Structure 1
Amino acid sequence: MGDAQRRFGGLAADSHGADGGRPPLVLVHGLTYDRTQWGPTLRELAALDPGRRVLVLDLPGHGESPGRESYQTADVADVVHAAVTEAGLDRPVLVGHSLGGALATIYAARHPTRGVVNVDQPLLLGPFGELLRRNEPLLRSPEYLRLWESLLAGMGIDQLPPAAQEMVRTATTPRQELLLGYWGEILVTADEAFTAQRVRELERIRSLGVPYHYVAGSEPPPPYRQWLESVLPNVIIDVLPGGSHFPHLSHPAELARIIADVGSGPSGDR
Structure 2
Amino acid sequence: MSGTHRQYFGDLAADSHGTADDRPPLVLLHGLSYDRRQWGPVLEELAVVDPGRRVLAFDLPGHGDSPRRDSYDLGEVAAVVHRAVNDAGLDAPVMVGHSLGGALVTVYAAMYPVRGVVNVDQPLLVGGFGDVLRRAEPVLRSPAYGQVWTSLLAGMHIELLPPAARELVRTATTPRQDLLLGYWNEILVTPAEDLGERRTREMDVIRSSGVAYRHVSGDELPPAYRRWLESVLPDVAVTVLPGGGHFPHLSHPAEFAKILAG
TM-score of the superposed pair, with normalisation by structure 2:
0.99
Alignment of 1:70-81 (within 5 A): 70-81=71-82
Matches within 5 A, 1:142-181: 142-181=143-182
SS of aligned partner of 1:56: strand
Structure 1 stretches of 4+ with a deviation exceeding 4 A read none
User: For residue 17 of structure 1, what is the aligned residue in structure 2?
Assistant: 18
Which residue is 2:225 aligned to?
A: 224
Task: Give ranges in structure 2 of 5+ residues lacking alignment.
Answer: none
The aligned amino acid for 1:37 is Q
Q: CA RMSD in A?
A: 0.6
Which residue number in structure 2 is paired with residue 106 of structure 1?
Answer: 107
SS of 1:135's partner is helix
Deviations 1:24-79 (A, max 9, x none): 00000000000000000001111000100001100000000000011000100111
Q: What letter is aligned with 1:90?
A: D
CA shift, 1:259, in A, is 1.1
Aligned position for 2:237: 236
On the 8 A contact 2:78/2:108 being kept in 1, the answer is yes
| Distance in 1 between residues matched to 2:167 and 2:19, nearest whole Å | 32
Between the aligned partners of 1:104 and 1:194, the Cα distance in structure 2 is 16
Task: Give the TM-score taking structure 1 as reference length.
Answer: 0.96
Partner AA of 1:181 in structure 2: G
Distance change (3 Å), C-alpha of 1:36 and 1:243: closer
Aligned partners of 1:170 and 1:114: how far apart in 2? 33
Which residue identity is paired with 2:219?
A: S
Q: 1:43 is matched with which residue?
A: 44
Deviation at 1:243, TM superposition (A): 4.8
Pairing 1:87–2:82 present: no
Q: Distance in 1 between matches of 2:10 and 2:110?
A: 20
Shift of 1:138: 0.4
* CA drift at 1:132: 0.4
**Which one-letter code corresponds to 2:141 in the other structure?**
R
Change (3 A) 1:81 1:154: same
Number of equivalent positions? 261
Tell me how far apart the structure 2 counterparts of residues 254 and 116 of structure 1 sit (CA, whole Å).
17
Structure 1 residue 171, shift from structure 2 partner:
1.3
- Asked if 1:127 is matched to 2:128, the reply is yes
Shift of 1:234: 0.2
Gaps of 5+ in 1: 262-270
Partner of 1:115: 116
Query: Is it true that 1:193 corresponds to 2:168 in the alignment?
Result: no
